Each structure stands twice: as C-alpha cells, then as structure tokens.
Structure 1
Amino acid sequence: MRTPDTEQRPRPGAAILRTALRRNIGAMVAGTVLMGLYQAAETAFPIALGLIVEHTMRDRSLGSLGVSIGALAVIITTVSLSWRFGMRVLQKANTTEAHRWRVRVAACGLQPVARDVDLKSGEILTIATEDADQTADIIEVVPLLVSSLVAVVVAAVALSLADFRLGMLVIVGTVAILSVLAVMSQRIGAGTQEQQARVARAGAKVADLIIGLRPLHGFGGNHAAFGAYRAVSTDAKRQAITVARVNGRYAGTALALNAVLAAAVSLTAGWLAFEGRITIGELVMSVGLAQFIMEPLKMFSEMPKYVMIARASAERMALVLSAPPVTTPGAGRPEPGGRLEVDGVRHGTLRGATFSVAAGELVAVAAYQPRAAADLASVLAVNVAPDAYGGAVRVGGREIADLSVEAVREHLLVNPYDAEIFAGTLRTNIDPSGTGRTIAEAVEASLLTDVVALHREGLDHPVRDRGANLSGGQRQRLSLARALAADSEVLVLHNPTTAVDAVTEQLIARNIAKLRRGRTTLVLTSSPALLDAADRVLVLDGGVITAEDTHRSLLAADETYCLAVAR
C-alpha cells in the first residue's frame, strides 16, 4: 500500500530543466564564452570597417591598408574558430544530455514495477525520443541567448559612442521587440505541448495497430482500426498546422520588427551624418551594425520560443519520471522448495480462486472461461499490484507482496501466450542474458529443433522484429523454449501450444513433463495433451476451482469437462 509519506510529489518540468542546466554548467560556460567571442567578433567587423574608412580618408598609406587587412583577417579567423568550437562544445553537451533523459525515461518504462501513469507505450516512446531531444535543447538555448545579448550590448555601446541616440534606439527597440515576442511565445508553448500530446497518442495508436494487425485481419477489423488511427492522426495534424501557423506569425513578426529596427538605425545614422553630427566612418559603422544586428536580434527573439518548447517537453517527461510506482514491493525472499499457493484471489473474473501446487508438481488449470485464465496469469505475473486484488499469492510460503521484485522474478516466471519475439537471433531470443545452461534441452523440449536445423546458421539464424520471418507456431515454440531455458523454480505457462498441430502438441506436452520433472509447473490450458501430462487438473469455472482430479478421471466422470476440453 502507498501512503502519503511514501508517494512522490510530481516533478515539474522546470526542475528537469534546472537539472539539465546544472550538470552541464561547465560546457555551457565554455560555449557561452566562445559564442560570446563569436558575436563580439561579428560585431567588431562593421566597427573595424568604419574605423578603416575613417583612417583611410585621413591617411592613405599602404601601411595603413596592410594593418587594416590584418585586423580584418584576425576578426574573420576569430569568428570562424569561435563559432566552430563553441557549437561543438554545445552540441556535444546537448546530445549527451538528450541521451541521459532518454535512458531515464526508458528505465522508468522498463522497471519491473510499473508506474502509475496514464500513458501508453507509444506515448512513452515519443517522450523518450522527441521530448528528450527538445528538453536538452535548453543547453544550447541559454548560451546562444547570452551571446546574442553580448552582440546587442556591444552594438549598442559602439553606436552610443558615435551618438547616444543611436545606442538608445537599439536598446529601446530590442526591449520592445522582446516584449512583443514574449507574449507570442506563451501561445507557442501551450500549443506545442498539446501537439506533442496528440502526436504521442497517434504513435500509441499505430503501435497498438501494428501489434494487433494479424488478428485484426483475421476477423475483418482492420478497416475500423485504420479509421480510428486516421481520426487520431488527423487530430494531431490539425494541431500541428495550428502550431505551424503560430510559429509562422511569430517568425514573421520577429523578422518584421528586426527589419524595422535596422531601418530605423540606418535612417537615423544617415540623418545624423547629413546633419554633420557623425563622421562618414561612423555612418559606415552604424549602417553595418544595423545590418549585422538583425542576426543576433533574430536569434535573440527566437530564444523564448525554444525555451517554451523545451519547457513543454520537460513537463511531458515529468509525467513519466515523477509518476509513483503502482505498488511498493517488499524486501523478503521465498523459502526454498518452490511451492505455489493461490488463496482466495478475487480479480476480474476470479471470485475467490483457491488452490496450491506442491514443490516439483506439474498441475494444469482448465479454465472454462478464457478470461479467467488470463486474469489468473496477470495476477501470478505481478502485472496486477498485490493491493489491487483480493486474497493472496504465496511463493515458497511467502506472500508476493512481501517479496522483492528480484526474488519474485528469480523464483516465479509466467510465460504469456502472446510473449514478444525480439529482433536478433534464435539464440538471443532463447537466452537474452547469454548465461543459459539448458538451451539445447529447451530447444529440444519445445520442438524448435526443426527451425534450427532448417537454417545454416542454426541458433544464430536472424529473427526480425516481432518474429516477422517466423510462422505463428514457430514464434510460440520459440517463446516456450525461452521460458524452459530460464529453468525457474516455479514456471507458469499460459496456452503454450495453441498455434501448433495436435501431433506436435502431444510431443511438446511429454517433453515439458520430462524436462520440468522435480520443478514446480503450472499450465493454464485446454489442451488435452497438456492436461493428460499433468499430475493433477484443476477446473476453473465461474472464477473458482470447482473440481480437481487427473485428466482421465475427469473425462470419465464429468460430462461438462469432457465437452470443454475434448477435441
């Protein structure tokens, strides 16, 4: 049970951004210095041109021309090198930070104890990719913001030295531009957050569609599913268009305001030169700065937009990172032996199911309602938090709620009927950790030997994502081989042979009984072959255990059982 003291408070996006900034402070300082030097050198170029014109008109010597060319060469070299190394430092820090957040989000999604977050896997995937990248952009945004400010300040000071009114015009104009754009950026942030949420929902929908494509085709539901995805995708498209329009208005407004300011500075400088209040060299400098200042102003004006986008992405990451676990596992370990007990479990269609499997016993559960078998498998797999169902499940005499996640996974393995197949090889699917010692026995017991023998690479035969290059029966046998190779103390198999023929099913049932001899095994199935191979059969009907005997005794004495399992 979670208590108010143990629940985590939501972690706002601002805290994530502060964390990103704090651990990259060194790279940001170096990047800020280099980018500030770049902007200062860029600003120095029109200033140098103005000074060159001023001195050339007074002193027309080759020496002055050589010094001027040398000064311009130094400025251009500084601009080139400072930009190159400054962006290298910042982009490396940005990429590294994005990687850190991707790993953090992925780790939360892959934790054995699920988090209490109302997001689908496709949405979490979007958060772990796009949102992580956009959050890390804050590493570049701040130094670029500071360096653009340096350029504006240097330009304002240089213009003030020529005439105080020119400097004040730049300062007042910059403040006015940023004030207008700051208001517009608020709408961009809100719209972007909603767009990211809708795109994530579309991603989740298409992920579900791909997973269920085969059964959808089977019962003709693919067109309805495609229609549902089209609706979600269209919704995301409309929001993206809305955000694009806002971004377009923002960019257009920023460009127009910057152009107005540059024109105002140029015209004012021309008027002052006409009045004789500034020199020709100062006029050249002022016009050059007016043209140059548009770049840092453009960059400066775009920064609020990127800050709002980073904030919106950080808020979405906080949905995952700050979500509390659905349950708090214990720290105990089960007693040796492998006894499994289900005591009055009430969940879904289960209405107080009670039974036990002795250590080393092979027991089959024949569920008359398939949903009941699925609910029982979910409870045993700890996909349902112990405090979310009634009754108790014990492994080795200890309740699952009192055991650590590691202990549960080490002693109890539940292999679902729809277990995932991963891109890789047959070997990596059977033994993902690379430490298995019973791979050969598992391959033989699951009758995967024909698949291995069929390919020259054997167990190293490549497998595509979700086992796309394998048949349904081959995928199921590969999943069974992985479960058997784990050699766990307690193994629960849920419909492990539904995609294989009757002869293969009979052989697999005998092989499971032989390989798992002395190990606790529970099979949820309606297969006559597996039921016959079990030491005992439990009948699960109406959410409770209604009968218990061997398969053959139940066939002889229970007509309902005979009708339910006989093929």
Structure 2
Amino acid sequence: MKKPETRRPRPGAAILRTALRRNLGAMAAGTALMGLYQAAETAFPIALGLIVEHTMQDRSLGRLGVSICSLAVIITTVSLSWRFGMRVLQKANTTEAHRWRVRVAACGLQPVARDVDLKSGEILTIATEDADQTADIIEVVPLLVSSLVAVVVAAVALGLADLRLGLLVIVGTVAILSVLAVMSRRIGASTREQQARVARAGAKVADLIIGLRPLHGFGGNHAAFGSYRRVSTDAKRQAITVARVNGVYAGTALALNAVLAAAVSLTAGWLAFEGRITIGELVMAVGLAQFIMEPLKLFSEMPKYVMIARASAERMALVLDAPPVTSAGGELPEPGGPLEVEGVRHGTLQGVTFTVAAGEFVAIAAYQPRSAAELASVLAVNVAPGAYEGAVRVGGRELGDLAVEAVRAHLLVNPYDGEIFAGTLRTNIDPSGSGRPVDAAVEASLLTDVVALHRDGLDHPVRDRGANLSGGQRQRLSLARALAADTEMLVLHDPTTAVDAVTEQLIARNVAKLRRGRTTLVITSSPALLDAADRVLVLDSGVITAEDTHRNLLADDDAYCRAVAR
C-alpha cells in the first residue's frame, strides 16, 4: 500500500515561523504591554459609565475626586503601556529585518551563485522591502492579540450589563473577520504580483545604469528607456490595482465596524428606554461602541498584513532556499601545481585542452569573443562542473572535488567587466583591508596617474560603479585589484581593452614582471599582452588550433596575424 505523501510546509511559512520563534520573548513582552494598553483604553468608557452611575446616587466631592484619580491612572496606563510596548516591538522588528537582510545578502555574496532566476535589482528589492515586510509579522501578532483583548473585555463588560449586547459584539466581530478574511486573499495575490513587477523594474534600472554609457555611444538609450517605461508602467498599474483592493478592503472594514458600533449603540438605547439597563450602563455601552471601532479596525487589518508578510517571505525563500549552482567539494588544491583544462565542451567550446605549468605566463588568443567569455566562466566556477563535459584541474584536483572558497583563494578569474564599488581607490583595490601589496599593484596597472591626480591619493572617493572614473581608469582599477590579490593562479579576461596602445604596452610588461613565478593565464587579443606571454594558444571555433610564441605565430600564421595585428 502506497503511503500518502506528506506535504512539506511552504518556505514562506517556514521563514515566518523562524521570525516568530526567535522573537518570542520580545513578542510576549510587547503583547503584554499592548494588551494592557487595549484593556486600559477599554476601561475608560467603563469607568465613565460607573462614574455616572455612582454620581447620580451620591453627589459628593470625595467620590468625584476618586473618579478623577481613577481616570488619571487609566490614562497614564494607556500612555506608558503604548510607549514601552511599541518600543519593544519596533526594536524586535528592526532587528529581525536586519537579520533577513544580512541572510539574503550573504546568499548573494556566496562564492557559488544560487540557481535562481532573479536579477541583481530584484535581489536588492528582496533584501530591503521584502525583508522589512516579513519582519512586520513581529508587530502584527502582538497587535492582533491585544486587539482581541480589547474586543473580549468590551464584550464581557457589555454582557454583564445585558447578555444581548455582549453576544452582539461577539457575533458581529466574527462576521466582520469572516468577510475580511476572504478579501485578504485577494490582497495577498495582488501584493505578490506587485512586488514581482516592482523588483523587475528595479532590475531594469540597474541594467540601464550599468549600460548607460555604451547605450549613449550607439544611440540605443531611447529604446532602452522605452523598455524601462513599459516595465515601470506595468508596475504602476499593478500598484494601482493593489491600492484599489486595499481601498475596498479598508472601506469595507470601516463600514462594517461602523455598522457594528451603531448596532450596539441603538440596542443599548432601546434597552435603556425599556428600563433593562441603567443610564450609567447606557453611557458605558455608547462609549464602548465608539471605542471598539479602533481595535476592530486594527483587528480587521491584521489579515492583510499577514498576507503581505507571507508574500514577502515567499519571495525571500526564492533566494534563501535556492540550491547553489554547484556543490562544493572538501578537498584543497596542491600548491605549486599546474592549471589543466582537458576536453572541455560548453557552449561554443568544443573540446578545449591545454595546460599552464606552475609559474608560466600563457596567453589565449580567442578569435570568437563568446568562446573567451565561456572559458572564463568555466574557470571561475560560474558554470557547475556537471554542466559541461571534460575536466578542469587546479593543482592536480578537479574543480568539482575542491571547496569553492579554496578555489577562489588559489585561482582568481578577473572578468573584463569587473565591478567598481562606491568607496575609495584603496577599498576597491583591497576590499578586505588585508594589507595586500597595493602599491605594487597600482604601479603595475599604471593606476599611478589616477592616484597622483588627486590630493587624497588612494583615499580618493569613488562613486557607485566608478561613475567618476573613465572607462580606462575603471579597467585599470579592476586590474589592480586582481594583481593585489596575489593569488597563485590568476586568469585575466581582456584586461586592457579600454586603454591606449602605449599604456597597454607598459601594463603588459609590468604584469609579466609582477607575476613572475606565478601561474598566469590571459585571455586577450592585445598584441602587447600576447607578446609578453611565454607562449600563446589560439582558440578558434571552440578548440585550440595553434600554439607558439606571439612573434612566431605572427610570422607563420596569416589568420593569427589578421586577428591580432593592430
């Protein structure tokens, strides 16, 4: 007999449970204080009713003074309980949001990318807005419980005056929440779609910022802006839909709460007219009917906030629960070993095989840029070892058997479009502040003119994505960072495409000199770098077709001469 499948909890629900579980103490304190606040607020109209009742029986100054003191105690309790209760809850909320932001950021910064179909702009939205909205559950639950306390206290007080009043409050509250629970599902679905569209718009903005300069260069900025306008318009329309749904929800909640308050007031008036309740009880009932609208409104809004928190948690789960592109092994590369690529087939690569011996400086002249990019991705472990045929060995160990952190420490692949971060020249070259050979890297990459140009030197501010630097300066800054890492193996992909020929010649000599005795592989079409290499491999149509020194290839291979000569 086949066992029934057990349904696994949805990742979003698991995230919310985690947030609730580790904030139980703060939530318990906040719930107690907010419950005290609601109970004290409920006690205010009850006290007024009792004061009216006793004042009509005994009109003495002493009793009036006691009444005033009682109201003062109630007001003080309301003020202090709200102040400290919200302080506890908001501190827990902020701390929890920070935890989730750090977790999402940690996933995005892991050595191995997550297998998730999201762009960087979308992940940024998840790490900010969705993290905040998920953490709101820390406040939602205590406020929900405290609102329930107010409703229960009001129902009990009214029930003591007349059972029908208490039952009216209970039945009315259940009916209101039943109607709003159905409506909150629509809010959750609409909110999820809105968050997704806003995130896509954010990702589009990030792409535009990255490619703004080249877009201006070939006149594609208008088409790009048109594309963003369409994505942004979709997000705007969905936001309007969500606002409309929220408006209907809020209006319905307010109307139902008003109907319940009116029903309690009219019923109390009728009972007082019939002589079934006293004037003091009538004052209490009318006061509670007016007061109860606030906790009922708060109580009825909670399902909406729960659905929003659930939607945000499910979006965070897209990042947090996504498996890594590749599983990290546990072995370490042998120091002093070669870099070996054997029969690699991936994309346009059709069985690439070569070896870079320890301490050797090798250049690869790739005739097709796509092949160069795919080879760099394989070496950078951006492609899972199981996603391509063949093997890549570092220090005699295959990439799939190595810990990714160990690969990153042993083998650095610097992409042609290396990111530049907001900070300073120094923090871009040595982000960890580990005291790497920054000066030597600056000199080798010829970043010295940029450093000398500014009074702050290496502490010169750099804007986000290097907006205050030229293309050549950004490229040399990225190269300096790669050289300062001083890894045993270094792979450079087109490191000098944005610099002039004279600068390129000097950089090539400097890199060869600085990396002497270290394994270096440069994927490039630069004649200067090809000439500085110990040998050159020609990558054409996905395979290595020739191998020799740059000058011998220039003399003997016409195709090579046409491809690299400038």
The alignment's TM-score, normalised by the length of structure 1, stands at: 0.97
Secondary structure of the equivalent of 1:545? strand
Query: What is the distance in 2 between the residues matched to 1:172 and 1:396?
Result: 74
The SS at the match of 1:311 is: helix
The answer for the alignment partner of 1:190 in structure 2 is 189
- C-alpha distance in structure 1 between counterparts of 2:427 and 2:360, whole Å: 29
CA offsets per residue over residues 507-528 of structure 1, 9 Å max, x none?
A: 1111111111111111111111
On the 8 A contact 2:90/2:139 being kept in 1, the answer is: yes
SS across alignment from 2:240: helix
> How far is the alpha carbon of 1:437 from its aligned partner?
3.4
Partner of 1:291: 290
Matches within 5 A, 1:64-75: 64-75=63-74
Letter in 2 for 1:99: H
CA–CA distance in structure 2, aligned partners of residues 312 and 437 of structure 1: 44
After TM superposition, list the pairs within 5 Å mapping 1:109-188 onto structure 2: 109-188=108-187
State the match for 1:6 in structure 2.
none
Query: CA-to-partner distance for each residue in 1:400-443, whole Å, 9 max, x for gaps?
Result: 11111121011100111110011111111111111133111111
Letter of the 1:201 partner, please give it: R
Alignment of 1:342-491 (within 5 A): 342-491=341-490
- Following superposition, the deviation at residue 323 of structure 1 comes to 1.0
SS in 1 for 2:116: coil
Are 1:268 and 2:267 an aligned pair?
A: yes
Q: Is the 8 A contact 1:10 1:323 kept in 2?
A: no
Q: In structure 2, how many angstroms separate the alpha carbons of the residues matched to 1:524 and 1:11?
A: 45
Q: Structure 2 counterpart of 1:543, which letter?
A: G
Q: Partners in 2 of 1:165 and 1:435 — Cα distance?
A: 74
- Aligned 8 A contact 1:360 1:520 in 2: yes
Deviation at 1:338, TM superposition (A): 3.9
SS at structure 2 position matched to 1:417: coil
CA distance in 2, matches of 1:471, 1:209: 18
**Match status 1:248 vs 2:247:** yes
SS in 2 for 1:37: helix
Q: How far apart are residue 88 of structure 1 and its match? A: 0.5
Partner SS state of residue 331, structure 2? coil
Task: Give unmatched runs, 5+ long, in structure 1.
Answer: 1-8
Letter in 2 for 1:384: V
Confirm or deny: 8 A CA contact 1:338 1:360 kept in the other structure.
no
Give the partner amino acid of 1:302: E
Q: What secondary structure sits across from 1:526 in the alignment? A: coil
Q: Which amino acid aligns with 2:425?
A: L
What residue in structure 2 maps to residue 16 of structure 1? 15
Assess if the C-alpha contact under 8 Å between 1:349 and 1:371 holds in 2.
yes
Q: Secondary structure at the match of 1:329?
A: coil
Q: Could you tell me how far apart the structure 2 residues matched to 1:182 and 1:30 are?
A: 27
Letter matched to residue 309 of structure 2? A
Partner SS for 2:147? helix
Distance, in Å, in 1 between the alignment partners of 2:120 and 2:461 is: 26
Determine if the alignment matches structure 1 residue 86 to structure 2 residue 99: no
What is aligned with 1:5? none
After superposition, residues 517-528 of structure 1 pair within 5 angstroms as: 517-528=516-527
Return the alpha-carbon distance in structure 1 between the equivalents of residues 442 and 450 of structure 2.
10
Structure 2 partner of 1:331: 330
Name the counterpart of 2:491: 492
Contact 2:348 / 2:371 at 8 angstroms: preserved in 1? yes
Aligned to 2:355, the other structure's residue is in SS state strand
Counterpart of 2:339 in structure 1 is 340
Conserved? CA contact 2:12–2:310, under 8 Å? yes
Aligned to 1:549: 548
The residue that corresponds to 1:4 in the other structure is: none
2-structure distance, mates of 1:501, 1:385 = 36
- The CA distance in 2 between the partners of 1:391 and 1:475, in whole Å, is 35
Aligned CA distance change for structure 1 residues 10 and 224 (closer, same or farther; 3 Å): farther
The C-alpha deviation readout for 1:68-124, integer Å capped at 9, x for no partner, is 000000000000000000000111111111111111111111111111111111111
Looking at structure 1, the residues matched to 484 and 21 of structure 2 have their Cα atoms a distance apart, in angstroms, of 46
Which blocks of at least 5 consecutive residues in structure 2 are unaligned? Answer: 1-7
- The one-letter amino acid paired with 1:180 is V
Between the aligned residues of both structures, percent identity stands at 90
User: 2:299 matched to which residue of 1?
Assistant: 300
Q: Residue type matched to 1:108 in 2?
A: C
Q: Distance in 1 between matches of 2:128 and 2:436?
A: 37
Whether 1:514 aligns to 2:513 is yes
Contact 1:30 1:86 (C-alpha < 8 Å) held by counterparts? yes
1:207–1:10 distance in 2 versus 1, CA, 3 Å: farther
**1:54 matched residue in structure 2:** 53
CA displacement, residues 270-327 of structure 1 (integer Å, 9 cap, x when unaligned) = 1111111111111111110000000000001101111111111111111111111121
Q: Retained in 2: the 8 A contact 1:10–1:322?
A: no
Residues 209 and 225 in structure 1, CA contact (< 8 A), matched pair in contact too: yes
SS in 2 for 1:414: strand
State the distance in 2 between where 1:334 and 1:151 align.
65
Q: Name the CA shift for 1:11/1:301 in 2 (closer, same or farther; >3 Å).
A: closer
The whole-number CA distance in structure 2 between the counterparts of 1:454 and 1:114 is 38
May I ask how many residue pairs the two structures share in their alignment? 559
Q: Could you say what secondary structure the match of 1:343 adopts? A: strand
Indicate if the aligned counterparts of 2:416 and 2:495 stay in contact, CA closer than 8 A.
yes
Superposition deviation, residue 10 in structure 1: 8.2
Question: Could you tell me which amino acid in structure 1 is paired with residue 124 of structure 2?
Answer: L
8 Å Cα contact 2:430/2:436 also seen in 1? no
SS of residue matched to 1:183 = helix
Question: Which amino acid letter does the alignment assign opposite residue 323 of structure 2?
Answer: P
Amino acid at match of 1:458: G
SS at match of 1:226: helix
Q: Report the secondary structure of 2:418's partner residue.
A: coil
- Deviation at residue 335 of structure 1 after TM alignment: 1.3
Instruction: Say if 2:213 is the partner of 1:214.
Output: yes
Residue 565 (structure 2) pairs with residue 566 (structure 1): yes
Give the Cα separation in 1 of the matches to 2:516 and 2:237: 60
Contact residue 11 and residue 314 of structure 2 kept, 8 A: yes
How far the C-alpha of 1:11 sits from its partner, in A, is 5.2
Q: CA deviation at 1:541?
A: 0.6
1:345-401 deviation line (CA, Å, top 9, x unaligned): 111111111111111111111111111111111111111111111111111111111
| Amino acid across the alignment from 2:210 | I
Alpha-carbon distance in 2 for matches of 1:236, 1:35: 37
CA contact under 8 A between 1:436 and 1:486: conserved in structure 2?
Answer: no
Off by >3 Å, runs of 4+ in structure 1 = none
Helix, strand or coil for the counterpart of 1:496?
A: coil
CA displacement, residues 30-76 of structure 1 (integer Å, 9 cap, x when unaligned): 11110010000000000100111111111111101110000000000
Equivalent position amino acid for 1:486 in 2 = A
Matched, 1:282 2:281: yes
Equivalent residue, structure 2, for 1:536: 535
8 Å contact from structure 2 (residues 342, 390) kept in 1: yes
Structure 2 length as normaliser, TM-score? Answer: 0.98
Separation in 2, partners of 1:536, 1:402: 29
Q: Match for residue 97 of structure 1?
A: 96
